Amino acid sequence: MDSSELLELVKETKKQLLHLQALGVEGVQLSKEPPTTSRSVSAAAVPVIQPPHSKLSQSKPVSVSPVSLFGEIAPEQEKLASSQETFEQIHNEIGDCTRCPLHRERTTVVHTEGNRKARLMFVGEAPGADEDIQARPFVGRAGQLLTKIIEAIGLKREEVLIGNVNRCRPPGNRPPTPEEASMCKPFLLREIAIVQPEVIVVLGNTAMKNLLDTRDGITKVRGTFQDFKGIKVMPTFHPAYLLRDPSKKRETWEDLKKVRDYLDSTAQH
């Protein structure tokens, strides 16, 4: 065997090694049995050369589900990196915000409030009239209903974190536009990175679509845990909607029971 043939053999071996490792195979013992003449060769008889001190031998195999073992390998879910920022730093950066047109008619900037080590966070779309005056999220009629919902799952309002995608009240309580939301959303994401809650409950269509970047409606998605960078997200109806249509309270209660049960199952005793 000349040098060119040897080089080609090494290349092919490396390719095979990379492929099998991507499937989670770290190594296979060389068979001591003589070569078989059968047309079908057992996968266990295929040698995998694993250099003991190579970088490849130290790398972490890709985690895949059994059903996709020999199909397309799903990428690992991106996780939200933890942040060492403080809420005060973020709020100071926001300042007397004029980044979007909403500042023209707002009274105050309404920041996220609550337990900054919370396991559970609630996110709405934007402040209403009462919130705009008091500079606090969810303090009007919808906020009072949210407080009752929180208490119904065995928590107090001060134990959770409550905020909105947008911090300024849109005129007439209309939903924020995508452009308006895009100005505010990065600050919310930075707060989530600080707190790292186990579960986020998104309240209503606008908040859900902005956080999850989905086109699906709340009726289709509610009641099923979604994923946001490794954090469980439960979409459900906004309390203001429940005030207009009390018949949806039962479905909302079912959604929040799932949140309660999940938090109970992961609680450290």
pLDDT at 228 > cutoff 90? yes
Q: How far is CA 119 from CA 193, 228, 231, 234, in A?
A: 13, 15, 10, 13
Burial class of 144 by CB neighbour count within 10 A (0 to 12, 13 to 18, 19+) = middle
Q: Looking at the domain assignment, is residue 226 inside a domain?
A: yes
Range of the domain at 207: 87-266
Q: 26-32 contacts: CB < 8 A, separation 24 or more?
A: 26/50, 26/57, 26/61
- Better-predicted residue by pLDDT, 68 or 22: 22
Under the banding of pLDDT at 50, 70 and 90, the label for residue 139 is very high
Residues 138 and 45 reside in one and the same domain: no
What tens digit of pLDDT does each residue of 162-207 get? 999 999 999 999 999 999 999 999 999 999 999 999 999 999 999 9
Letter string b/e over residues 249-262, b meaning 16 or more CB atoms within 10 A of that residue's CB: eeebeebbebbbeb
Q: What is the pTM of this model?
A: 0.72
What tens digit of pLDDT does each residue of 79-92 get? 889 999 999 999 99
Q: What is the mean pLDDT of residues 29-44?
A: 44
Instruction: Provide the number of structural domains found in the chain.
Output: 2
Burial class of 12 by CB neighbour count within 10 A (0 to 12, 13 to 18, 19+) = exposed
Residues 40 and 114 reside in one and the same domain: no
Residues 38 and 152 reside in one and the same domain: no
Q: What is the mean pLDDT of residues 159-163?
A: 98
Residues 213 and 114 reside in one and the same domain: yes
